[in-house]
Structure 1
């Protein structure tokens, strides 16, 4: 593919969007972001494109592509990639995933976090009781929600089952996020 570079992709690429298909006739692509906040995607001057599932013949390894421009279009983003200048090339990328290394994300103000940085952190309450680890983040519109997966219980009513806590990621419930210490302290009880 003209304009695409195939250097060694860095490890730990974070998937940010999927290419939904061609947009228009000049090679633009429609992106479907995986997050409501697509700032990292919009600020980057390049992306890594991972091959679409089942179509590795197009390319077999992540390709670095330069972004000519990107704009918001309804609930999606529309981008022009350098080297993709016709609808056929753009449509061939349908289903491919856009990714970036974490180091390419823009810095955030204090007290704000990228979801990817919260996944896997241990969650403990004010009393020091371990509630589990952040399995994923959800958005219910006005706020984000921590999905905390508890370890399987050894005894009690729910023995053998892993409990799940849905904790709103708001100041009322979240006391502190310690990325270096890999913990989130919350005002939440195990039986909530």
Structure 2
């Protein structure tokens, strides 16, 4: 995926029989997803204008440009939607888009490489960085807090971690 786009939502399938889709928003303000249109597929081959029609369980019913039938909407199930980074709001100094954190090298406070950020998980109680690296038999989930991650240096492509005792072997 191009670094100029950020994943802002996903299509969960058709909603009804008139071409609407069930849209999951990954935005801090869920309704803002329509403001970032056009939204693109991961490969950039298709783009859609978005009109939110109403809230539904787990997201929104929405109309996408070029999608007129239930079959077309069903065919898009599972498609992630990306917005151009230029249309997204600027973030305060201590906030980051998840896409910016994925792939960063993780070092401890002594400079030892712990691994790389594979994904960012956020289930409501705070973000967790999924870290995979040398010497790890499985991934490690590190809380993304100021105490555990005191430094994020996007320009250098790394973050400094001070993990709780025993989290890393």
Tell me the TM-score normalized by structure 2: 0.76
> C-alpha deviations, 1:90-127, integer Å up to 9, x for none?
33433433233444433222211111110111112222
Aligned residue runs from structure 1 range 9-88, under 5 A = 11-12=2-3, 14-33=6-25, 35=26, 37=28, 41-49=33-41, 62-69=45-52, 72-88=55-71
Structure 2 residue aligned with 1:147, among 106, 130, 135? 130
**1:24 & 1:70 partners in 2: Cα distance?**
12
Q: Which has the larger radius of gyration?
A: 1
Contact map agreement 1:131 1:190 (CA 8 A) in 2 = no
Deviation at 1:87, TM superposition (A): 3.6
Q: SS at 2:99's partner residue?
A: helix
Corresponding position of 1:180: 155
Change (3 A) 1:72 1:128: farther
Q: Which runs of 5+ in 2 are unaligned?
A: none
Matching residue of 1:7: none
**RMSD over aligned Cα atoms:** 3.1
- 1:95–1:143 Cα change, 3 Å: closer
Q: 1:42 to 1:111 in 2, by over 3 A?
A: farther
Q: 1:172 to 1:28 in 2, by over 3 A?
A: same
The Cα of 1:14 is off from its aligned counterpart by 4.6
Contact 1:125 1:189 in 2 (8 A): no
Give deviations 1:13-62, integer Å, cap 9, x for gaps.
554443222223442211245x47475734312111369xxxxxxxxx72
Separation in 1 of the partners of 2:157 and 2:146?
A: 18
- Please give the secondary structure, in 1, of the residue aligned with 2:155: coil
Given the alignment, which residue of 138, 142, 148 partners 1:167?
142
